[in-house]
Structure 1
Amino acid sequence: MINSASSSDRVLRPEGVVLHAKTAPTGAQAADRFSPENSAALKSALQAQPAIRPEVVARGRALAADPSWPSPEILRSVGSALLSSPDPLDQAD
């Protein structure tokens, strides 16, 4: 956001710019890295899952029939808010 009190005749000088390199993930974040060895196991596990899970379909139908379930407009609004919010992991420390 541009502050309305900021002067448009100011120029950002290169020595005023500080870039922060992201550090390598540690702990739980390091476990999220791609591993070719785990790829085959993941593909196998996914292929073992049925394409349609009747219990999930039944749950979806029950929720759609529930009058207290949020409307599509509310769900779209919440989804839009989530997508437009910054990711806390991308914030500089």
Structure 2
Amino acid sequence: MSAADRTQVTTHTPAWAIIMVVIFIWSFLLSLLFLLARESRISGYITVTIESNGQSFIENLPVADEAQRADVFNRVAYLQSLIGQERFRLGR
């Protein structure tokens, strides 16, 4: 079992910062400080591959934020630990 991270992280100026620049245009220096605000967005998917007895199953799981990304990797790690425990128990 393996997982491949195929996500992309992009940064951009949020809409609220642009709105604040327009509102505070009369105060030139204050409005430019709002342009320093940045937000990160995660998009893409994580590919989970399971192989057994010469067969393989591949699933692409879409990811929209960092919490989902961490959750997928935690689930994969948990399943890998269960597989390892069962192999140890069976003596393989």
Q: Under a length normalisation based on structure 2, what TM-score does the superposition of the two structures give?
A: 0.23
Of structures 1 and 2, the one scoring higher in RCO (CA 8 A, sep 6+) is 1
Q: Which of these two proteins has the greater Rg computed from alpha carbons?
A: 1
